Homo-oligomer: A and B are copies of this chain.
Amino acid sequence: MGSQSKKRRKSAGFIHVEPPESIGYDGLGFDIIHRDSDSKARVGSLKTPHGTLETPNYIFCGTKASIKNVMPQVMKDLQTDIILANTYHCMIQPGPDLIEKLGGLHKFMGWNGPMMTDSGGFQIFSMGHGSVADEIKGRNRNNSKSMLKITEEGAKFRSYKDGSMIMLTPELSMEIQRKLGADLIYQFDECTAFHVDRDYTEMSMHRSHRWGDRSLKAFDEGNDGTQGLYGIIQGGVYENLRKLSTQWVEDRPFFGTAVGGSLGGSEEQMNEVVAMCMDNVTKDRPVHLLGIGRIRDVFTFVRMGIDTFDCVSPTRIARHGWALVKGEPQERINIRNARFRDDDTPLYPDLDNPASRDFSKGYIHHLFKAGEMLGMQLLAMHNVATINLLMREVRQAIKDGTLDDLEKEWLPD
């Protein structure tokens, strides 16, 4: 058998690719430095070419190569360790070649710390279901027609920028993510929607596995040891699929493990689905939970062994007037509420940043009432600082064995 046929065997329309048996991640590392005695919570040290961070940690979303309203220098001041950008958005505007020409994502956006990119799959498929259409250009437009076709080869879609046809494949996703140059990158996968049935979920999961093998292969060919590739556990809400997919990821030479796909239709089901995966994770790789990140989720899932979270919510809800507040049973308050009109207290004076400390709630309330963009900026800063405080305290509580107490401090009944 020639090497070509070894790499890609087609049967029944499937593209089978043998993944490499091992991959060197020389510039990266993950060490577990403390394990909780009451749960699977752990404190880890995640080393990347752009710095080492402690886990559990929170990866803030810089969707289009920009944290909304917050400069990277300010993100650092707010004690942020790691951010992400979305491959899909960066590929459409300004394009991976331009970012590469201008020195890669880190240099392009002025963030010199650890960074992650996703594979591009999530946004494409979400658009197919119309659920993140608002995200694309920060406004409401019907993008449900932009997803044209998913085939064994990849996903064909129409660019929202110029209407051109783009075929995103595992190989192209790896090529783009290499050009972007983030430290932690992701296999290409399909993020199945909640409403699809078991048959589709299973079929899609197997295709995502094949896409994962092609991702590994393509990654290995261009690997220079500066990026760590994550495999993604699929399988929807079905326990045996989740188990099978977890095993699939564990069996392959990924740097990290991610829990992806549909996590169900309720908080209870989400917790069950993540548990279906985490009960079967055995290797001490860093584990990322894709797209989930309320404060209560952090407490729930660090106990299952999740190391990193990402969610747009801290900066997105800021644009709608929501401030995350430690000790608030609902996690957050809406500053537009009339009760804050003449409130002369700051959001959180113990947090060492101007947004949390130096402005009254009454002033920020006014900024939202007056439509002043500075309000969004201040709440984005405050929410980032609050999440970073949460993660620092979570790490310390794991070390101290006081996670239950800390949860009560953050989320009293």
Known: A110-B359, A354-B110. A371 touches B137 (CB 8 A): yes
The answer to whether A93 touches B369, judged by C-beta atoms less than 8 angstroms apart, is yes
The answer to whether A373 touches B374, judged by C-beta atoms less than 8 angstroms apart, is no
- Kindly state whether residue A370 has any CB partner on chain B within 8 Å: yes
- Name the residue on B nearest A373 (C-beta): B69
Bound complex: CA A371 to CA B94 (Å)? 12
The answer to whether B66 touches A372, judged by C-beta atoms less than 8 angstroms apart, is yes
Chain B residues within 8 Å of A67, by CB: 374
- Name the residue on B nearest A89 (C-beta): B370
Known: A98-B362, A110-B363. A376 touches B373 (CB 8 A): yes
The answer to whether A103 touches B344, judged by C-beta atoms less than 8 angstroms apart, is yes
Bound complex: CA A71 to CA B69 (Å)? 12
Chain B residues within 8 Å of A109, by CB: 363
The answer to whether A378 touches B137, judged by C-beta atoms less than 8 angstroms apart, is no
- Within A298-356, the residues touching B (CB, 8 Å) are 341-342, 344, 354-355
Identical subunits present? 2
Chain B residues within 8 Å of A378, by CB: 71
The answer to whether A98 touches B358, judged by C-beta atoms less than 8 angstroms apart, is no
Distance to closest chain B CB from A84 (angstroms): 15
Distance to closest chain B CB from A101 (angstroms): 6
Most buried by B among A70, A94, A137, A367: A94
The answer to whether A102 touches B71, judged by C-beta atoms less than 8 angstroms apart, is no
The answer to whether B94 touches A366, judged by C-beta atoms less than 8 angstroms apart, is yes
- Kindly state whether residue A377 has any CB partner on chain B within 8 Å: yes
- Kindly state whether residue A64 has any CB partner on chain B within 8 Å: yes
- Name the residue on B nearest A70 (C-beta): B374
Bound complex: CA A359 to CA B75 (Å)? 15
- Name the residue on B nearest A360 (C-beta): B102
- Name the residue on B nearest A365 (C-beta): B94
Distance to closest chain B CB from A349 (angstroms): 13
- Kindly state whether residue A73 has any CB partner on chain B within 8 Å: yes
Distance to closest chain B CB from A323 (angstroms): 16
Bound complex: CA A73 to CA B366 (Å)? 18
- Kindly state whether residue A138 has any CB partner on chain B within 8 Å: yes
- Kindly state whether residue A68 has any CB partner on chain B within 8 Å: yes
- Kindly state whether residue A108 has any CB partner on chain B within 8 Å: yes
Chain B residues within 8 Å of A108, by CB: 360, 362-363, 366
The answer to whether B69 touches A366, judged by C-beta atoms less than 8 angstroms apart, is no
Distance to closest chain B CB from A186 (angstroms): 21
The answer to whether B342 touches A101, judged by C-beta atoms less than 8 angstroms apart, is yes
Bound complex: CA A371 to CA B370 (Å)? 21
Q: What are the interface flags for A272-283 relative to B under an 8 Å C-beta threshold, 1 for contact and 0 otherwise?
A: 000000000000
Distance to closest chain B CB from A167 (angstroms): 23
Known: A108-B363, A109-B363, A367-B66. A98 touches B342 (CB 8 A): yes
Instruction: Give the contacting residue for A64; candidates B344, B370, B376; CB below 8 A.
Output: B370
Bound complex: CA A377 to CA B380 (Å)? 14
Known: A354-B71, A358-B110. A65 touches B366 (CB 8 A): yes
Chain B residues within 8 Å of A370, by CB: 64-66, 89, 93-94
Known: A102-B360, A370-B89. A71 touches B377 (CB 8 A): yes
Bound complex: CA A378 to CA B94 (Å)? 18
Distance to closest chain B CB from A344 (angstroms): 5
With A98-B341, A98-B342, A373-B373 known, 20 other A-B pairs at CB within 8 A are A65-B366, A66-B367, A66-B370, A68-B373, A69-B373, A69-B374, A70-B374, A71-B355, A73-B354, A73-B358, A89-B370, A93-B369, A93-B370, A94-B365, A94-B366, A101-B342, A102-B363, A110-B359, A138-B371, A377-B377
